[in-house]
């Protein structure tokens, strides 16, 4: 069986392929550039809606099972924002630096006790016959005042979690350590275990 990942974001592709492999998936995994399918507009108002929109479009276009995710950062003091707008919070889709800086400016005066946030990932799997499932993963942490670390992407440099070695941003973690605890890791491991490796 061949699966298609409904993204062409190179950072996300590398991360998802690693997570899927670590979760025991052995099938061939293609991406949107491999199958020449255009991006799908993310018009949903939840992570699950956007993930399903993308996976449905790719499954319909290719006739192959499609996996998509929508993920982002939910900040408590901002009422769960940026949420589904995480990738375009500063106005231009995918401008990680601008998004991060705008968010830090918005909560600059917020004390450390009120900087709780979580990463959320909705991972969707859609088969060409119309079957579809969604798994949700979350990672809770706090936001720093300045970026730290050179790994990861997006909001990773300002998202801090507790580790055995003390507080670390997810950009300070090695890839395998991040995958083990991340929102994407949780959602995609659940997707593989429940619906792919298990043969559901």
Domain, as residue range, for 125: 2-195
| Alpha carbons 32 and 14: distance in angstroms, whole number | 13
For the segment 47-87, what is each residue's pLDDT rounded down to a tens digit? Answer: 999 999 999 999 999 999 999 999 999 999 999 999 999 99
145 domain-assigned: yes
Q: Examine the residue annotation and report whether 70 is marked as an active-site residue of this protein.
A: yes
Sheet holding 2-5, edge to edge: 28-31, 2-5, 66-75, 116-126, 132-143, 159-163, 166-169
Q: Is the confidence at residue 129, as pLDDT, over 50? A: yes
| Alpha carbons 69 and 42: distance in angstroms, whole number | 11
187 domain-assigned: yes
Check which CATH number belongs to the domain holding 114 and give it.
3.90.950.10
Q: Cα 119–125–131 angle (5° rounding)?
A: 140
Task: Provide the pairing of β-strand 166-169 with 28-31.
Answer: unpaired
Which position among 31, 69, 70, 156 bears the catalytic label?
Answer: 70
Looking at the structure of the chain, the number of domains it has is: 1
For the segment 3-62, what is each residue's pLDDT rounded down to a tens digit? Answer: 999 998 888 888 888 888 888 888 889 999 999 999 999 999 999 999 999 999 999 999
Supply the pLDDT for residue 14: 87
Q: How far is CA 123 from CA 113, 149, 167, 178, in A?
A: 31, 26, 27, 17
Q: How confident is the model at residue 198 (pLDDT cuts 50, 70, 90)?
A: low
SS3 content of the chain, % helix, strand, coil (to 5): 40, 25, 35
Specify the pTM: 0.92
Residue 32 C-alpha from the chain's centroid: 17
200 domain-assigned: no
CB-CB contact of 77 with 111 (8 Å): no
């Amino acid at each position: 069986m061949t699966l298609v990942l409904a993204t062409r974001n190179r950072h996300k592709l590398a991360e998802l392929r690693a997570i899927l492999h670590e979760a025991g998936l052995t099938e061939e995994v293609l991406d949107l550039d491999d199958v020449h399918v255009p991006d799908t507009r993310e018009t949903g108002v939840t992570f699950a809606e956007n993930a399903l929109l993308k996976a449905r479009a790719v499954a319909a276009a290719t006739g192959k099972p499609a996996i998509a995710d929508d993920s982002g950062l939910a900040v408590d003091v901002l009422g769960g924002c940026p949420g589904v707008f995480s990738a375009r919070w500063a106005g231009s889709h995918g401008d990680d630096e601008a998004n991060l800086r705008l968010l830090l400016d918005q909560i600059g005066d917020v004390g450390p006790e009120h900087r709780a946030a979580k990463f959320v990932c909705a991972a969707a799997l859609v088969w060409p016959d119309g079957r579809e499932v969604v798994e949700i993963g979350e990672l809770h942490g706090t936001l720093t005042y300045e970026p730290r670390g050179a790994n990861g992407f997006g909001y990773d440099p300002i998202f801090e979690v507790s580790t055995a070695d003390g507080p670390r941003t997810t950009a300070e973690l090695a890839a395998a350590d991040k995958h083990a605890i991340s929102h994407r890791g949780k959602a995609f491991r659940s997707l593989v275990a429940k619906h792919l490796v298990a043969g559901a």
